[in-house]
Amino acid sequence: MPIIPPDLLNRLPLLSRTAVPPSTIEVSRGNAITLLKNGGELFPALVAAIDSATHDVCIETYIFCDDTAGELIANALKSAARRGVSVRVVVDGVGMGATSPLFLDALKQAGVELAIFRPEREFFSLRRSRLRRMHRKISLIDGRIGFVGGINLLDDMTDALSTTHPRYDYAVKIEGPLLADIYLAVNRLWRVLSRAKLQRKERQFNQSQPAHALYVPGNIAAAGTMNAKFLVRDNFRFRRAIEQEYLAAISAAQKNILMVSPYFLPGRAMRHALRDAAKRGVGVTLLLQGRADHPLMQLATRALYDQLLVAGVQLYEYGVSMLHGKVAVIDDEWATVGSSNLDPFSLLLNREANVIVLNSKFALELRDSVFAEIAANAGQMKVTDWQHRSRWARIQSWSAYGLAKFIAGWIGFKNEWRG
């Protein structure tokens, strides 16, 4: 089902040379979706849901840190496992590099089933497969409540690049039929990881899916009035699903586009779509990192500023702490919250998960929240100021951009991410 009105879809070729149809993922109706800002709002809701679990808890996260927030969630998981709840946790081998093995061992000793996606077995490797990471952030509890977003399980101030302001990020709490779609993706990954462990002749762990009837599509009752989609990006059936949804919505935009991404190096199609939208009078606003945890990536991103600013895109950098949120609002009716950045790693390599919400009330709430952050904590990039950068700054940016293009080609996606 299209994410935009059929009459607008019919006019897509007139709106943009990069117009593409949305993915074929069906819309789920009758959901209640709540916006959560930062771990300060997510973690209490997640712990409360885990504490109420009676059947199963499934979690996927890139980072599960052994800090104050991580311990709080870990204790809830251990308590659930000890009272007989099936608890499964999937973490990423690279994302967990700084977490103590003792922290994970305590989870397993309490009865939590733990799987590590692509464990790090070499300190240094040039294998392309090492770059394919599990970057999703998903939690499911009893077929009643789910959480999806960009927030890792670590304290808001850990690695926030600030001593005064928390890391800036979003997630959503989900109730309703969309949970069935999310569970299918989570269980599919669990089965993949369980087969991998058996192939390595390691200790077998439970491959069977929790038998909770509520997870069966069609069995979850409506919990609200919101329409939504659950999108994953993987390297099999859904390689371009998230990117296609973005491109379709951008190409169809008539009023405004607001996008937030910490790492912003989209391919040629998305860059053209954004410039085309701005040129036809759509208000395009981008919020990107000002304080960078990966300076080389920021330098490469800044090589794109000239072409975006000249096209009329309003560009801001978040300056008080680490920007980590991956969200967008288009025409105040289409919104997404998830784990996918707009760079080659998220769009072409990683396992990612986003929720698309087709609801004006939710979209306006997210839009207002982002613009409030922009007003308080971001600085605008002006085209005149940017064009007067020093020659050395330009050399740095274009050198970093060239390196990014080289890496994209090296990993096998030169034709998909060029220009």
Q: What is the pLDDT of residues 181-193, one digit of tens each?
A: 999 999 999 988 9
CA dist 206 and 81 (Å) reads: 14
Residue 241 has pLDDT above 60, yes or no: yes
Dist CA 212 CA 222 (whole Å): 17
Residue 221's nearest CA partner among 175, 260, 182, 153 is: 175
Q: What is the pLDDT of the chain when averaged over all its residues?
A: 87
Confidence of residue 197 (pLDDT cuts 50, 70, 90): low
How do residues 371-405 score in pLDDT, each as one tens digit? Answer: 999 999 999 999 987 778 888 888 898 888 888 77
How much of the chain is helix, strand and coil, in % rounded to 5?
Answer: 40, 25, 40
Q: What percent of the chain has pLDDT over 90?
A: 69
Is pLDDT of 321 > 80? yes
Q: Which of 135, 173, 272, 405 is catalytic?
A: 135
Q: Which of 37, 78, 326, 405 is catalytic?
A: 326
Do 174 and 140 touch, CB atoms closer than 8 A?
no
At residue 207, what are phi and psi to the nearest 5 degrees?
-95, -15
Mean pLDDT throughout 293-314? Answer: 93
Asked whether residue 126 carries a pLDDT value surpassing 70, the answer given is: no
Q: Burial code of 222-237, b = ≥16 C-beta within 10 A, e = fewer? A: ebbebbbbbbbbbeee
User: What per-residue confidence (pLDDT) applies to 27?
Assistant: 95
**9-13, 296-300, 388-392, range with the lowest pLDDT:** 9-13
Q: How confident is the model at residue 6 (pLDDT cuts 50, 70, 90)?
A: very low
For 27-143, where are the E strands, in sequence order? 28-37, 56-61, 86-92, 113-117, 138-141
* Across 123-134, average pLDDT: 66
> In which band, very low, low, confident or very high, does the pLDDT at 411 lie, cut at 50, 70 and 90?
low
Q: Is 382 a catalytic residue?
A: no
Which structure tokens are listed for 288? 């990107």
Residue 143's closest CA among 175, 169, 186, 103? Answer: 175
Q: SS3 for 57?
A: strand
Residue from 165, 324, 343, 405 carrying the catalytic annotation: 324
The reply to whether 212 belongs to the active site is: no
Q: What is the mean pLDDT of residues 236-264?
A: 93
Write the DSSP assignment of 287-326 as a string of letters: EEESS-SSHHHHHHHHTTHHHHHHTT-EEEEE-SS-B--E
* pLDDT for 1 beyond 80: no
Q: Are the C-beta atoms of residues 336 and 327 closer than 8 Å to each other?
A: yes
pLDDT at 129: 58
Q: What is the pTM of this model?
A: 0.90
Alpha carbon distance 43, 142 (integer Å): 17
Choice between 218 and 273, residue whose per-residue pLDDT is larger: 273
**Residue 135 is among the residues annotated as catalytic for this protein:** yes
Per-residue model confidence (pLDDT) at position 25: 84
Which of 21, 13, 67, 41 shows the shortest CA–CA distance to 337?
A: 41
34-50 pLDDT, tens digit per residue, is 999 999 999 999 999 99
Does residue 122 surpass a pLDDT of 80?
Answer: no
Does the structure show a pLDDT above 60 at 336? yes
- The answer on pLDDT for 254 being more than 50 is yes
Lowest mean per-residue pLDDT among 269-273, 321-325, 345-349: 345-349
Q: Give the number of other CB atoms < 10 A from CB of residue 273.
A: 27
Q: Tell me the β-bridge partners of 37.
A: 170
Residue percentage of the chain with pLDDT more than 70: 84
Residue type, 365: E
For residues 258 and 326, the answer to whether their CB atoms sit within 8 Å is no
Residues 402-415 have a mean pLDDT of: 70
Which residues fall within 8 angstroms of residue 192, CB to CB, at 6 or more apart? none
Find the mean pLDDT for residues 301-315: 94
What pLDDT is recorded for position 251? 96
Catalytic residue among 55, 137, 165, 272: 137
In this predicted structure, what is the pLDDT of residue 385? 78
pLDDT value of position 246:
96
Active-site option among 165, 331, 343, 405:
331
Average pLDDT over residues 76-95: 96
**Catalytic annotation present for 142:** yes
How confident is the model at residue 202, as a pLDDT? 47
Q: Say whether pLDDT at 200 is over 60.
A: no
